[in-house]
A and B are shown apart, each in its own frame.
Chain A
Amino acid sequence: MKLPIFLDNHSTTPMDPRVLETMLPYFVEKFGNAASRNHAFGWAAEEAVENARKQIAKLIKADPKEIVFTSGATESDNLAIKGVLEMYREKGDHIITSSTEHRAVLDTVKSLEGRGKATATYLSVDKFGMVNPEDVRNAITEKTVLISIMLANNEIGTINPVKEIGKIAKEKGVLFHCDATQGVGKIPVDVQDMGIDLMSFTSHKMYGPKGVGALYVRKKNPRVRIVAQMDGGGHERGMRSGTLPVPLIVGFGKACELCEQEMSKDTARLIAMRDRLEASIMKALEESYLNGHPTNRLPGNLNISFAYVEGESLLMGMKDIALSSGSACTSATLEPSYVLRALGVGTELAHSSIRFGLGRFNTNDEIDYTIKKVIEIVTKLREMSPLYEMAKEGVDLKSVQWAAH
């Protein structure tokens, strides 16, 4: 076993060596511009791009023509939301989203709101982080042009009832955008069955290269139209100008193909390792709380709050394991995780959360090591924690008058 161990597969994933292998010819040898229509270099590039488009479309049960390449999920979210709001502004300016969306969605919506270009409803979620489809239905007004709800949450892994939301969207004639960044390649996605009109996803979360993503844009029933946010040579059927990064796209395609072929095998492995990690930690450490849905969540996700210890210090104590925390000290905003807060997790427990993100290349040995380390460090830091000491003495921490600073 090699240290450090990577258990942060929600942030990014290592590239599969098989993906790299398919990319390599497209840097030096087959370097053509896919938009060059008049020579062999361009044709070779175009063929490679169209083959990748097929592989990607197949994974999500779409038509290849419905795939628009972007630089990643953030751009896809921006293009979908801004593109739809701008295109359908005569119909209305209302968008429905949820409080636990990724910031690529939330900040895009807020930016439109701030410029007077949209009005928004932010749906709350239940204690497991799930959106209630009936809340979506009730929030729809005559002015609603877009529903944007994520497939699976990046912190807690909770999977939303997307199919039910898609059904309501169709019934009400409102477009449905789904940020599926964490879900595609990990769980089965079928844009037809789920009634999704636009969907964002990215290559680097599924063992492909960074710097390329896609927006699925439905072509039939209904034909979705968006206003391009990048002007130029009219690539991607006019929806996203810019020369296509052929090697990245080839890698993205291969990554999708591998995910499709290996999903059931990967899922079974990941769930077995994740459940063992969860059970061993929970059994050894009292007052550890699972965040997110107990069953309906991504196979590789585990998010736990360890009462009385602070997240950043936990990460510091496990230097040779790459993890993430909802603690304020690890965030750019110095606020604890807004996702955990939206679930109703108390601020102090949000500070104490650790996200484990398991992926294709993690091994059972790594999980064993992690279990041992987590138990060690939580025990050590609890010994050091005045809160743990007080709780052991029977002090109700909620009744203490703290000097907030």
Chain B
Amino acid sequence: MAYSDKVVDHFNNPRNMGSFKKDEEGVGTGMVGAPECGDVMKLQIKVQNDTIIDAKFKTFGCGSAIASSSLATEWLKGKTIEEAQKIKNTDIVQELNLPPVKIHCSVLAEDAIKAALADYQKKSDGVLTDAK
């Protein structure tokens, strides 16, 4: 299988790879996927005044999954919460030129964005996040 140049570039030079402390103020964390499915994405955003000032990811998965999450962090930075909600998996497919068998990687990235945003909102709404 041949990868697009953009996938190769994100894979070789991942943008914003790393982690924030989960309990840091303004940080929202989304973790999606499952090890037995072969991909797990952790996506984190740091928000100030409704704007995402920083984003980080860690991904277990194929090259396309890594590239999708790397690209997602790039796109998230500088966006408002509302703008970030509008990122669609199809945008990622188009940007990275993903083949049909890799579309699920982009879906996972969209899910990760949504999960990170939801986590941030839950925290900023002051709801207790202690898991039972």
Q: Report Cα–Cα, A385/B66, bound state, in Å.
A: 10
Known pairs A348-B35, A402-B33, A405-B104; A316 contacts B3 (CB<8 A): yes
Assembly CA distance A310 to B62 (angstroms): 6
Q: Contacts A402-B34, A402-B35, A404-B37 given: A386-B63 contact, CB under 8 Å?
A: no
| A386 interface neighbour in B3, B11, B14, B60, Cβ under 8 Å | B60
A327 contacts the other chain (CB 8 A): yes
Inter-subunit contact B104/A313 (CB<8 Å):
no
Interface stretch, picked from B38-46, B77-85, B120-128, is B38-46
The verdict on A384 contacting B63 (CB below 8 Å), with A316-B11, A397-B35, A405-B104 known, is no
| B17 beta carbon closer than 8 Å to chain A | yes
Q: A357–B91 Cα gap in the complex (Å)? A: 39
Distance in Å: Cβ of A348 to nearest Cβ of chain B: 4
How far does the Cβ of A327 sit from chain B's closest Cβ, in whole Å?
A: 6
The reply on A69 being an interface residue by CB < 8 A is no
Q: Residues of B contacting A329 with CB < 8 Å? A: 38, 62
Chain A residues contacting B8 (CB-CB under 8 Å) are 316
Closest to B115 in A: A403
CB neighbors of A among B29-58 (8 A) = 31-42, 58
| CB interface residues, B 92-124, toward A, < 8 Å | 101, 104, 107-108, 111
Distance of A316 Cα from B61 Cα, bound (Å):
11
Considering only CB atoms, which chain A residue lies closest to B17 in the complex? A384
Bound complex: CA A346 to CA B11 (Å): 26
Contacts of B107 in A (CB 8 A): 405
Q: How far is the CA of A397 from the CA of B34 in the complex (A)?
A: 10
Interface residues in A344-361 (C-beta closer than 8 Å to B): 346-348, 351
Interface hits, A330-376 → B, CB 8 Å: 334, 336, 346-348, 351
Does A328 lie at the interface of the complex (its beta carbon under 8 Å from any beta carbon of B)? yes
How far is it, in angstroms, between the C-alpha of A232 and the C-alpha of B29 when the chains are bound?
67
Selected contact of A404 from candidates B3, B36, B60, CB within 8 Å = B36
Q: Is A92 an interface residue (CB 8 A)?
A: no
Q: Which of A370-405 contact B (CB under 8 A)?
A: 383-389, 397, 402-405
A73 interface hit (Cβ, 8 Å) = no
B4 part of interface (Cβ distance < 8 Å): no
A308 at the interface (CB under 8 A from B): yes
Q: Once the chains bind, are B101 and A334 in contact (CB under 8 Å)?
A: yes
Partner of A384, one of B62, B66, B104, B108: B66
Which of B17, B32, B40, B101 is the one whose CB lies under 8 Å from A387? B40
CB neighbours of B11 from chain A (8 A): 313, 316-317
User: CB within 8 Å of B: which residues of A?
Assistant: 308-310, 312-313, 316-317, 327-329, 334, 336, 346-348, 351, 383-389, 397, 402-405
Closest A-B pairs by Cβ, 8 of them: A402-B34, A348-B35, A386-B42, A347-B36, A312-B62, A386-B58, A316-B63, A351-B38
Interchain Cβ contacts under 8 Å between A and B, 24 examples: A309-B60, A310-B38, A310-B39, A310-B60, A310-B62, A313-B61, A316-B3, A316-B8, A334-B101, A336-B38, A348-B38, A351-B35, A351-B38, A383-B17, A385-B60, A386-B42, A387-B40, A389-B58, A403-B32, A404-B34, A405-B32, A405-B33, A405-B107, A405-B111
